[in-house]
A and B are shown apart, each in its own frame.
Chain A
Amino acid sequence: MNFVRNSVIPVGTVLIGILALWYVFTVILNAPFERDQAARANTAISTSQLIANTMAQERPVLPAPHQVAAEIRKTVFDISPTSKRSLVYHGWVTLSSTLLGFGLGTLLGILLAIAIVHSRTLDKSLMPWIITSQTVPILAIAPMIIVVLNAVNITGILPKAMISTYLSFFPVAVGMVKGLRSPEIMYLDLMRTYNASKAQVFWKLRWPASMPYLFTSMKIAVAISLVGAIVGELPTGAVAGIGARLLAGSYYGQTVQIWAALIVAALMAAVLVSLIGLIAAFVNRRMGARA
């Protein structure tokens, strides 16, 4: 009951509010076009007719939610997933490179964190550069990386995945450095009194202690990997993927298509993040972590 009162009702209200606002803006933003049409045809248009028209335009400034929902239903369920007009096909293209990049990035981040925690030289000299590396707007140069790698015949999923890797290694590396250092001095001292080797300290103390940090950073990393994959699809001349749908939609003024792609991307991000949340809950329970 508490769950309903504390989250379902408030979140539901906010979502309904957003939907209502969306409809209001649909009418406001699309009305000038309808008035213009009516004026050209020299016909008067009633307010109810105007509102109905704003929600059924071919290329609206802002499509109504039900138009977007219909487009998603059409492109996800009605068209076979192998067709190039299916959002399932494009979504899978984006998802596969997101997951590859996220996997590589997480691995790289963990390895870097292990190296940094065990080497004072690396900690002092590499860590500042890892932080600086994120002030480089890598997303902005993603298209260039793709084009350049294409020029040397590295095509397909790998260039996009590399961008996701670059974006996702950072949160994991920073989070894991914090996590691997999170055991208290007392536990480390206890390990020393047991005469534990460095590997034993790592596997029995540092690694388990870092798990909550790992999953928190992985949530950020997977979201940012998806952004990387989408932006990575922009320059390939709109071949395949969510990013390609966005670009094609913006070229041809297909606003409904853009919004459908955006909503699907948002759903994908939400599913990926909550999936990692589930894995985190499972692992934490298995390892006996509290809360």
Chain B
Amino acid sequence: MKRSPLAIVAFLLAAASLVLPTGADGPGILFFATPALLFAASALALFASASNSSLIALLILVHLAAIFLIGLLGAFAMAAPAIGYWCMVVAAWLLAWLAVQRLAALRPKSLTAQRMVNLALPVLFGAWLLILWEIVVRGFGVPPILLPSPSMIAARIAGSVPTLWADFQQTFLKAAIAGYVIGCGSGFLAAIVVDRVPFLRKGLLPVGNLVAALPVVGIAPIMVMWFGSYWESKAAVVVIMTFFPMLVNTVAGLAASGAMERDLMRTYGSSYAQTLFKLRLPAAMPFIFNALKINSTLALIGAIVAEFFGSPIVGMGFRISAEVGRMNVDMVWAEIFVAALAGSLSYGLITLIERAVTFWHPSYRT
């Protein structure tokens, strides 16, 4: 069996951490358990045969060690962790990387197992990002104002649910969704009109392409001046931001149906509307969903940025700028978390709908 260099380095580091000082004052069960656990895990990675059961054992041991490492941080109330502790951290990280590597190399027979592995890999990657973030921020004593630890952000989220919900309601449920629906809807309708008139298509498409690349966020101050500081002005910004991507993509999509299929429709003697609804719109769906996906993030960005130029005392953009001013960075991160969650969930929702609507598309066929 070929021994991975990762496993050798991890083994040496774990062995070193058994004797090196960790820099903590006072004894505790974790000080013996953690290096021992890592030593066992690296020995497993180095000497055991690469079977499924040893991989699972490695995963369990490494994550137990990670929990212990975070638990150990509490013991460094006064002093900073010493070299032995960082040896353990690096060893744990290398072992986790090794485990992920082995997991990625698996070729399970059944489809469910393959899906589980495909889901587990990014989840493990994200989990280790959080673990290392927590350990580095607390271990090196990074000031919370620069970067708060994940546990601190989580505590803040749990402690201020009503505020976060009110902000979310104001920015996402009112401004972003209203603007998104109006912007995408009008972009779609405009595209159908533009498609009907070839002159408009030739003239408007280059302009639309240009506008789609412009810093449209810049119109936020103007919209706030015109529509006042309530959510309507934010919705207006979102409408303008989402209109052009939708227009450009839908026009491209309406041209996507093949000449042969259109000829077939003509031999059937179908009317314009029949061709549109039965052939061209279904063929345009992948393009339309592409625009819907792009717009879902644009809508959130537009709604939040527009709030920087004036808003009532509620809303995610308002909260971010206000709490930055008061240097409450953990609250800002809580808002970012909510925004990222809302953005990812709406993106995921659109992807699910897309899969149901464009089930015929080659990229979804198995």
Contacts and interface: CB of A to CB of B under 8 A. Distances in A.
Output the residue of B202, B213, B336 with the most chain A CB within 10 A: B213
A120 B324 CA distance: 40
Nearest to A138: B301
B23 interface: no
A141 B336 contact: yes
A106 to B, nearest CB: 16
Interface of B: 97, 100-101, 104-105, 118, 121-122, 124-126, 129, 145-146, 199-200, 202-204, 206-207, 210, 213-215, 217-219, 221-222, 224-226, 296-297, 300-301, 304-305, 308-310, 316-317, 320-321, 324, 327, 329, 332, 336, 339-340, 343-344, 347
| Residue among B118, B214, B296, B317 with most chain A CB within 10 A | B214
Interface in A257-282: 258-259, 261-262, 265-266, 269-270, 273
Contacts of A124: 104, 118, 121-122
Given A125-B124, A148-B146, A143 B213 contact: no
B307 to A, nearest CB: 9
A141 B122 contact: no
Q: Which of A11, A136, A242, A266 gathers the greatest number of chain B CB atoms within 10 Å? A: A136
A270 B210 contact: yes
Nearest to B327: A151
Contacts of A227: 215, 217
Q: Which 10 A-B pairs have the closest CB atoms?
A: A10-B203, A250-B221, A135-B343, A140-B304, A14-B203, A10-B202, A125-B125, A128-B122, A223-B213, A125-B121
Given A250-B221, A266-B214, A137 B104 contact: no
Chain B interface secondary structure, helix, strand, loop or mixed? helix
A144 interface: yes
Nearest to B145: A151
Contacts of B217: 139, 227, 230-231
Interface in A221-268: 223, 226-227, 230-231, 234-235, 242-243, 246-247, 249-250, 253, 255, 258-259, 261-262, 265-266
Contact of A147 (B124, B224, B324): B324
B122 A11 contact: no
A12 B100 CA distance: 57
Contacts of B226: 29, 61
Interface of A: 6-7, 9-15, 18, 29, 61, 120-121, 123-129, 132, 134-137, 139-141, 143-144, 147-148, 151-152, 219-220, 223, 226-227, 230-231, 234-235, 242-243, 246-247, 249-250, 253, 255, 258-259, 261-262, 265-266, 269-270, 273
Contact of A143 (B210, B320, B340): B320
Contact of B104 (A121, A249, A262): A121
Given A135-B343, A258-B221, A140 B301 contact: yes
A252 B124 CA distance: 50
B221 A137 contact: no
B321 A125 contact: no
B176 to A, nearest CB: 10
B214 A265 contact: yes
A24 B321 CA distance: 36
B150 to A, nearest CB: 15
14 contacts: A10-B199, A124-B104, A132-B344, A135-B343, A235-B324, A250-B222, A255-B222, A262-B215, A262-B218, A262-B219, A265-B214, A266-B215, A269-B215, A270-B210
A236 B199 CA distance: 45
A230 B101 contact: no
Contacts of B336: 136, 140-141
Output the residue of B124, B204, B221 with the most chain A CB within 10 A.
Answer: B221
A140 B320 contact: yes
Contacts of A266: 210, 214-215
A1 to B, nearest CB: 15
Nearest to A128: B122
Identify whether the interface residues of A are mostly helix, strand, loop, or mixed: helix
A273 B203 contact: no
Nearest to B300: A137
B221 A11 contact: no
A12 B204 CA distance: 10
B206 A11 contact: yes
Contacts of B214: 223, 265-266, 269-270
A151 B199 contact: no
A129 B129 CA distance: 11
A134 B221 CA distance: 24
A141 B320 contact: yes
A163 B206 CA distance: 28
Contacts of A137: 297, 300-301, 304, 339-340, 343
Given A223-B213, A234-B308, A144 B329 contact: yes
Contacts of B305: 139-140, 231
Among A120, A140, A235, the one with the most B-chain Cβ atoms within 10 Å of its Cβ is: A140
Contacts of B97: 121
Nearest to B346: A135
A11 B202 contact: yes
Contacts of A128: 121-122
A144 B320 contact: yes
A234 B218 CA distance: 10
A121 B219 CA distance: 43
Given A139-B304, A259-B222, 13 more contacts: A121-B121, A124-B121, A129-B125, A135-B347, A136-B336, A137-B301, A140-B304, A147-B324, A223-B213, A235-B308, A246-B221, A262-B219, A269-B213
Given A120-B105, A125-B100, A230 B339 contact: no
Contacts of B300: 137, 140
A13 B221 CA distance: 29
Contacts of A13: 199, 203
